[in-house]
Amino acid sequence: MTTHVKPTAATAAALPAPQVIDQHRRRLLTTAAVAIAAASAAGLFSVRSAPAGGNDAIRPFHIDVPEQDLADLRRRLAATRWPEKETVADESQGVPQDMLRDLVRYWQIDYDWRKVEARLNALPQFITEIDGLDIHFIHVRSRHENALPMIVTHGWPGSVIEQLKIIDPLTDPTVHGGSAADAFHLVIPSMPGYGFSGKPATTGWDPQHIARAWVVLMKRLGYTKFVAQGGDWGSPVSNEMAKLGAPELLGIHVNLPGVVPPEILKAVGSGEAAPAGLSAAEKHAFDQLKVQFAKRRAYAQIMGTRPQTLSGLADSPAGLAAWLLDHGDGYAQPASAMQSAVLGRTVNGHSAGALTRDDVLDNITLYWLTNTAISSARLYWENKTNLYLPADVSIPAAVTAFPGESFVAPRNWAEKAYHKLIYFHEAEAGGHFAAWEQPEIFSVELRAAFKTLRQAM
């Protein structure tokens, strides 16, 4: 078994200076030399040298948010024009104003963006152009020989910040309860329109297009064999990668699987009773889906039909925070872990796990500073695939069902949707943002999920 990376010559001379197409993102870059020096010292990355001006160039990336942008954020937070308080004593009308006011006050006065900025800059980050769009990604290579390359895709309202806590457990498992044989090389990209990736100026960047881009990215990095993982939007992107037939892709793992049988989805959508003969697990999933479709889809429907109408999110950080915190589910799932973190206590039985208030604000602040509320929302408009229906994946696939997910997928549904199901497990804790909420459990799941595929290396 060998490490599937081509020989590299990652030097400052071989890499062109960072270039980005968006003026705001350009202000967040510093020189290539800073990133190269930091990454080379860590010895944790491998990139292929590219000729100057080549479209496949891999350029180092470094974040340096101008202080005036942070001052402007604090000014806007202080000037928030608040509506009247909700007329109910619960969360049924949306994010409670008292909670949001407390969060905004902390964000304005005590929150420190520079901490997460330094944390991100301590990692090897890069930009490369694929199909005319700049793609930002973190690339951390394990120190362990024969590590398995893996690309991990975030979702909405997330970012690469969701995955920061799984980097160490997956790249260096020997200090996190695993063995050297469990190690991964990690590639963690920002989806188009999210974070530091470019914002599509034309239509067409749907999950299928992103899937094709991710295969290009992994091959450009020199990986001849790799696996893919995703939750939320990362799940359909991983499913679509599996359908491309790329020989380099050994298998996938998803934690929001496309598994719902058409007859079940039809009954849920029409408000019919559950079909007869369902098992206890199937009936539980059916009941969860009924609540999901009845009460938790408004945000997705708005972004899927009228994303540009949400322009106020680009003007009000308080409004942006409220939108990203609320999935239309109040203190249920999938937003409950974030709200538990913001409140500092468990709400409705849904623990924040490893999530903290600062974690949540790191992610919201990233959306604000990159002005990606609308560009990220357009993914819902671009998508034309029903993400609940069976994925129809024929390559090896693994599924973890987390108890706090929107619905807990029954194993028999997963077996019909993923025809070569190599792993299925119901985790003991975690929800929709599993890698963020329960990084250790999530890491153990990925080690187990891909164990058999390592033999194909």
Is a pLDDT exceeding 80 seen at residue 31?
Answer: no
Per-residue CA distances from 5 to 134, 146, 222, 225, 457 (Å): 22, 10, 5, 9, 12
Residues 435 and 308: their CA atoms lie apart, in Å, by 30
The length of the chain is 457
Is the distance from CB of 408 to CB of 265 less than 8 angstroms?
no
Residue 16, pLDDT > 50, answer: no
| pLDDT (tens digit per residue) in 104-120 | 999 999 999 999 999 99
- In one-letter notation, the amino acid at residue 442 is F
Mean pLDDT of 371-377: 98
The answer, yes or no, to whether the previous bond of 173 is cis (omega within 30 of 0) is no
Does this model's pTM top 0.85? My answer is yes
Grade residue 281 by pLDDT with cuts at 50, 70 and 90. very high
pLDDT of residue 6 exceeding 60, the answer is no
Contact present, 332 and 296 (Cβ < 8 Å): yes
The C-alpha atoms of residue 352 and residue 419 are separated, in whole angstroms, by 34
Confidence class for position 25, pLDDT limits 50, 70, 90: very low
CB 78 within 8 A of CB 101: no
Closest Cα to residue 254, out of 279, 280, 227? Answer: 227
Query: In the predicted model, what is the mean pLDDT of the chain?
Result: 88
Beta strand segments in 213-327, E? 226-230, 249-254
pLDDT at res. 329:
64
CA torsion sign, 195 to 199 to 203 to 208?
Answer: negative
Distance between CA atoms of residues 301 and 297, nearest Å: 6
Neighbours of 43 (CB within 10 A): 10
Pairing mode of beta strands 184-189, 226-230: unpaired
Q: Considering only CA atoms, give the Rg of the chain.
A: 21
Closest CA to 197 of 404, 370, 411, 18: 370
pLDDT of residue 331: 59
Q: What are 347's strand-pairing partners?
A: 350
Confirm if 222 and 4 have CB atoms less than 8 A apart.
yes
Tell which wins on pLDDT, 17 or 173: 173
**359-364 LR contacts (CB < 8 Å, sep 24+):** 359/161, 359/436, 360/325, 361/103, 361/106, 361/107, 361/111, 362/113, 362/116, 362/161, 363/157, 363/158, 363/159, 363/161, 363/162, 363/324, 364/107, 364/317, 364/320, 364/321, 364/324, 364/325
Residue 301 CA to its chain's centroid (Å): 20
pLDDT of the residue at 218: 98
Region at 277 (left for phi over 0; alpha for psi -120 to 50; beta for the rest) = left
Q: Cα(428)–Cα(443) distance, rounded to whole angstroms?
A: 13
Question: What pLDDT is stored for residue 294 in this prediction?
Answer: 85
Of 19-23, 184-188, 293-297, highest mean pLDDT: 184-188
Give the pLDDT of residue 326.
87
Reference 137, options 218, 227, 207, 199; nearest CA is 218
Between CA 138 and CA 189 the distance in angstroms is 6
Locate the DSSP E strands across 222-338. 226-230, 249-254
* pLDDT band, residue 332 (cuts 50/70/90): low
pLDDT band at 15 (very low <50, low <70, confident <90, very high): very low
Q: Which residue type is seen at 218? A: M
State yes or no: pLDDT of 261 exceeds 90.
Answer: yes
